[in-house]
Amino acid sequence: MIEKNKYSSILVVLLILVGLSNNLFAQVIYSDATRNLQIGKNIYLLEDKTNNLTIDEILKSKNFKRSEKDVPDLGMSTSTFWVRITIKNISTENNLIIQVNQPILDKVTFYFNDLKTNKYCASSMGEYQSFKLRQYSTPDYLFDINIENGSEKTYYLKITSKEILQLPIFMGSSKSTFEFSGYKNIAVGIYIGIMIVMLLYNLFIFGAVREKSYLVYSFYIVFVLLAQTSNMGLPFQFIWPNLPWLQIHSQFLFPSLAGIAGLEFFKDFLKLKNRNLKVYNSSFLFTILYLIAIFMSFTGQYGLSYKLMSITASSVSIFMLIVGIVIYRQGNQEARFFLIGWSVFLAGVIIFVLKDLHILPYNNITRYTMQFGSGIEVILLSFALADRINILKKDKELSQAEVVMALEENEKLIKEQNIVLEQKVLVRTEELEVKNNELGVAITDLKEAQSQLVSVEKMASLGQLTAGIAHEINNPINFVSANVKPLQLDIADIFEVLSKYEAINIEDNLAEKLTSIESFKKEIDIDYVKKEINSLLAGIEDGAKRTAEIVKGLKNFAHLDASDIKLADINQGIESTMVLLKSITPPNIEIVKHFGEIPKIECYPGKLNQVFMNIINNAIQAMDKDTTKEKHRLTISSFVKDETICVSVEDTGPGMTLEVQAKIFEPFFTTKDVGEGTGLGMSIVFGIMESHHGKIDIMSEPGIGTKITIILPMNLHIILS
């Protein structure tokens, strides 16, 4: 019995020693080449907080600690981690592969002993370099090893990562490794297929109904798909293999954008802005936090960015869940699909987090639960959007029924109102006819008043000339009248001489009679009488000519209302006008004429004379009132320019301001004193120029003078036709 206990004790001691030996010198024993072997518990780990240790220093280090988990969880750290793997191959396959099934590592360096040099060589890959530099086109990190049957070798991995560092490490043959990856790719393909189908479905619905919710949800699907597949390294493999910087930041960029898009979809889908504006506005705080997290990742603050992004995502999830429940309890049936889908996604997130906290084991289910949850969520939320179509359809049918009822009511009202309206229209029509008659009378009166005002202006213009014309005619008439009496006396003396010659008879003393006649001729100074008669006749002739000239000018000017187009000499019209204005022209105004050789043009001569009269008369009156200058000059020119006849009237008067120039053609506007003008002169000028299709150009400067240019077409009948 004692002997038996002795051997039992020895056996226990041996078992303890074997266990201690395994803990001290754990190794991976690979025996079955048909399957992948997870080796997480058979590796050793060392944390390099300085990030400066070399492979030579690592080979001498005694600080390695054996992993206690199938998937070592090293958390988020800026340290470099070294992995030591000792493998003994007892399988039939010599060419094996070490697989690090974690695509989001910044850099993985594989160290292996070169038998030729007996030194460790390195092979690196990771997110820091282009994907095409990898030996195998797969997101996982694969390293070839060669261990002959029965041999044992030790390898090292140097790993850095800015995200949470979890190391699912496998080893196996090429066949088993790629079969393992193939099964995983099938699951991933199903997930991606579901997401793409849902994306296309929602884009199609958006194209059909043009509702914003479908477009926002499509963006959400895109960002969720990019966020989830970025964790698997697939976009780096297929979409941006030459953009390592985008792959490095994708773990922060796309989850944040997915959170923003999801929040916007939530607000738009449940009409949060209309339901509660304060809650809607407060939700933008989450968007700001997401954007700050993205900015921090681009500035290299990965740890702070990840923590802020995680806190924001958790807060948004709780916010959306609580608000969704409240809206659902308010009777919104659309919220039920959202709550179901969001709850499934949150369940996936919770399982994923519990896996990171080591409460749940690390396996394919816990690792890909977020992808599974997001896929279910996308499907359920698509159902919610589809259900919205049914709700909108019902609402549309109800609204259409209400519209039909409203139309029927409106039809009744319209029929009733039409009778009333017809009666009102009849009454209103009669009133309008009365008003139209009154308006016609008013227009007729207005035309008569306008005609009278124009006549008044014409009479006023002629009235100003009457005194001067009378004076002009009176001067030569007085001259003629004054010469008549002396001429009568002189003629009487001549007749007396003739009568004396007639009284001579043959019987009379001829010498005595002739002596008497000669004496009488000396008495009356017959030579002076002859000269005086010639002088008086010349004076009478000059007065008659001056009177004829005035009458001729008045005759040329008189046809004011001529309605026929005639060929007229513009220079002659100006001359006639100046003759009539000569009497009212002050002596301190010098008249300068520059008449060019211009052809006769088609016009209304009398109306053009009225234009010249009004413009020249205004210039004379303006200079007459300007006492700042002793002498003035009025320059009248006519010339041909660009197939038109131009007449310019330039004075040295006080000029006009821009305000006066803007109103010069307005009826009843005048700068003259009260009683001196009607204000219609330039308005009539403007109307006459329009009838001639001409233009008036005014250049004036206060204190210098005014120049008015009249521009007339040569062939008026062509324009009128």
Ordered structural domains, the chain, with CATH: 25-174 (2.60.40.2380), 183-390 (1.20.1070), 559-720 (3.30.565.10)
> Among 57-66, 324-333, 511-520, whose mean pLDDT is lowest?
511-520
pLDDT of 577 higher than 50:
yes
Residue 655: strand, helix, or coil: coil
Residue 33: strand, helix, or coil: coil
pLDDT digits over 652-691, tens only? 988 888 888 888 887 777 777 655 566 677 888 888 888 8
pLDDT number for residue 662: 83
Helix residue ranges, H only, 55-160: 55-60
Residue 110: strand, helix, or coil: strand
pLDDT confidence band for 461 (50 / 70 / 90): low
pLDDT confidence band for 25 (50 / 70 / 90): very low
Tokens found for residue 258: 């997915």
What is the residue-averaged pLDDT of the chain?
80
Are 180 and 36 within 8 A, CB to CB?
yes
pLDDT of 721 higher than 70:
no
Q: What is the mean pLDDT of residues 458-484?
A: 60
pLDDT number for residue 467: 52
pLDDT of 76 higher than 60:
yes
Task: Confirm whether pTM is higher than 0.75.
Answer: no
Q: What is the mean pLDDT of residues 630-655?
A: 91
Distant-in-sequence contacts of 620-624, Cβ < 8 A, 24+ apart: 620/581, 620/584, 620/585, 620/586, 620/589, 620/651, 621/672, 622/651, 622/653, 622/654, 622/706, 623/586, 623/589, 623/651, 623/652, 623/653, 624/586, 624/589
Question: In the beta sheet, which residues pair with residue 156?
Answer: 84, 111
pLDDT number for residue 441: 78
pLDDT confidence band for 281 (50 / 70 / 90): very high
pLDDT of 425 higher than 50:
yes
pLDDT confidence band for 16 (50 / 70 / 90): very low
pLDDT of 244 higher than 60:
yes
For 668: left if phi > 0, alpha if psi spans -120 to 50, otherwise beta; the answer is left
Report how far residue 359's alpha carbon sits from residue 73's, in angstroms, rounded to the nearest whole number. Answer: 12
Are 329 and 307 within 8 A, CB to CB?
no
In this predicted model, which residue has the larger pLDDT, 100 or 366?
Answer: 100
Helix residue ranges, H only, 558-604: 570-581
pLDDT number for residue 243: 92
Closest CA to 706 of 626, 645, 611, 610: 626
**HEC per residue, 348-361:** HHHHHHHHHCCCCC
> Among 198-207, 369-378, 431-440, 648-657, whose mean pLDDT is lowest?
369-378
pLDDT of 710 higher than 60:
yes
Q: What is the mean pLDDT of residues 535-562?
A: 63
Most confident of the following: 142-151, 391-400, 423-432, 455-464: 142-151
Most confident of the following: 61-70, 175-184, 419-428, 601-610: 61-70
pLDDT of 357 higher than 70:
no
pLDDT confidence band for 370 (50 / 70 / 90): low
pLDDT number for residue 97: 95
Report how far residue 260's alpha carbon sits from residue 223's, in angstroms, rounded to the nearest whole number. Answer: 9
From the CB of residue 138, how many other CB atoms can be counted at a distance below 10 Å?
A: 19
Q: What is the mean pLDDT of residues 228-250?
A: 90
